[in-house]
Amino acid sequence: MHTVIIKTKHGKINSKNMKSAASAIRSGKVVVFPTETVYGIGANAFDEEACKKIFEAKGRPSDNPLIVHVSDLNMAKTVCFISKKYEKYLLKVWPGPLTIISKAKNTVGKIVTANLDTVAVRMPSSSIALELIRTSGVPIAAPSANISKMPSSTSGKHALAYFNGKVDMILDAGRTKYGIESTVLDLRTFTVLRPGAFSVEDLTRAFGKKPRVHSENVVSIKKVRSPGMKYRHYSPNTPLFLYKGNIRDLNKMLKKHKKIVFIGSDNACSMIKGVQKIRLGNYQEEIAHNLFDALIKLDSVKAKFAVIQSFGIEGFGLAVMNRIEKASNHLSFKNEKQLHKLMNVYKK
């Protein structure tokens, strides 16, 4: 398939190109576009055939529903029910990286909701995403623009590598603002199903109450409430192990293994000697922003194994640790013996 690639100039897409992207959406085509979180792969949410193409392009299991992107509260109400009680809060937090789960209206197809009676809805703050939705005049169903299980695209370069030749159009606006996906909040139970770029602390401030946070570690034995929870996610091909100890001790453990890559903050990287390193920066925002890029880079390094450090879970840290836990498939170690055990299992 020929993919039309449109690049931004000074962060903007000219109106001719925007109109052609919007008309692609309206005519049932698939368009990859930037949001402030990660890139999305989108189609008209009211067009089941078009939405089906998203699942095909991503290789996404059909029981993992899509997020519907809207440009205002009225458009949100065309796809879901929003109680008066929550309306005033949504006017406060939208546009932004917060996805709500609410009872679906029958305007959205079963393919979008994966047969659930709820739907995920978000109003992005990225001006390109908003303009695309507004110009299209329809809500856009869009999951993250990555091949299923792989790390999400945080730059046009990633999106092109995944989808050039597989979708009708890609809008390339360089790097996204946050680099980590939206927070998914179930409005009915006020529970965070997926931590993301809207922190629990910010949610508590905005809504005046603390949300519950679903513990994903128990999803395998409890009922999976967000279908996305049960899949392996964000995974590089290189086996990745999470280190849960202090960096000084890790330096001693890694010294003996030349083919290991270490992924960590700049500070941690400067303490680790003799192995290849991928730096994430030092501030929480930078680390969130660089994480997926680091996971994608890791596979081009062709290392045998990679080790990533753990971070605190305050602010963005909760979302960062959620992605790291998944990317490492919950394989973690605290000492040399445990590291060797993991390495032996994953030796080719």
**Residue of 109, 195, 211, 228 interacting with ligand AMP (CB under 6 A):** 228
The answer, yes or no, to whether the previous bond of 95 is cis (omega within 30 of 0) is: yes
Of 129 and 303, nearer to ligand AMP (C-beta) is 129
What residues numbered 21-60 form the site for ligand AMP, per CB under 6 A?
none
Interface with ligand AMP by CB under 6 A: which range of 25-33, 44-52, 74-82, 114-122?
Answer: 114-122
**Residue of 4, 5, 73, 116 interacting with ligand AMP (CB under 6 A):** 116
**What SS3 state is found at 347?**
coil
**Residue of 193, 272, 319, 320 interacting with ligand AMP (CB under 6 A):** 193
Closest CA to 79 of 117, 51, 106, 113: 106
Interface with ligand AMP by CB under 6 A: which range of 5-13, 110-118, 210-218, 315-323?
Answer: 110-118
- Which residues of the shown chain bind Mg ion in the complex (CB under 5 A)? 144
**Residue of 65, 97, 151, 239 interacting with ligand AMP (CB under 6 A):** 65
Partner from Mg ion, ligand AMP, none contacting 184, C-beta within 5 to 8 A by type: ligand AMP
Min dist. Cβ of residue 339 to ligand AMP (A): 31
Is there binding between residue 61 and ligand AMP (CB under 6 A)?
Answer: no
CA-based R_g, the chain, Å: 20
Partner from ligand AMP, Mg ion, none contacting 120, C-beta within 5 to 8 A by type: ligand AMP
Per-residue buried b or exposed e for 294-333, using 16+ beta carbons within 10 Å of the residue's own CB? bbbebeeeebebbbbbbbeeeebbbbbbbbbbbbbeebbb
**What SS3 state is found at 61?**
coil
d(CA 299, CA 316) in angstroms, rounded, equals 25
Per-residue buried b or exposed e for 168-181, using 16+ beta carbons within 10 Å of the residue's own CB? bbbbbbeebbbbbb
For residue 228, the 8-state DSSP code is: G
Binding mask 273-292 for ligand AMP (x = CB under 6 A): --------------------
Partner from ligand AMP, Mg ion, none contacting 195, C-beta within 5 to 8 A by type: none
User: What is the residue whose two structure tokens read 């368009």?
Assistant: 31
d(CA 138, CA 234) in angstroms, rounded, equals 29
Of 113 and 328, nearer to ligand AMP (C-beta) is 113
Min dist. Cβ of residue 142 to Mg ion (A): 10
Of 235 and 309, nearer to ligand AMP (C-beta) is 235
**Residue of 120, 173, 185, 269 interacting with ligand AMP (CB under 6 A):** 120
Closest CA to 62 of 120, 119, 113: 113
d(CA 23, CA 20) in angstroms, rounded, equals 5
Closest CA to 114 of 89, 88, 141: 141
For ligand AMP (CB under 6 A), the number of binding residues is 18
Of 144 and 182, nearer to Mg ion (C-beta) is 144
d(CA 255, CA 262) in angstroms, rounded, equals 11
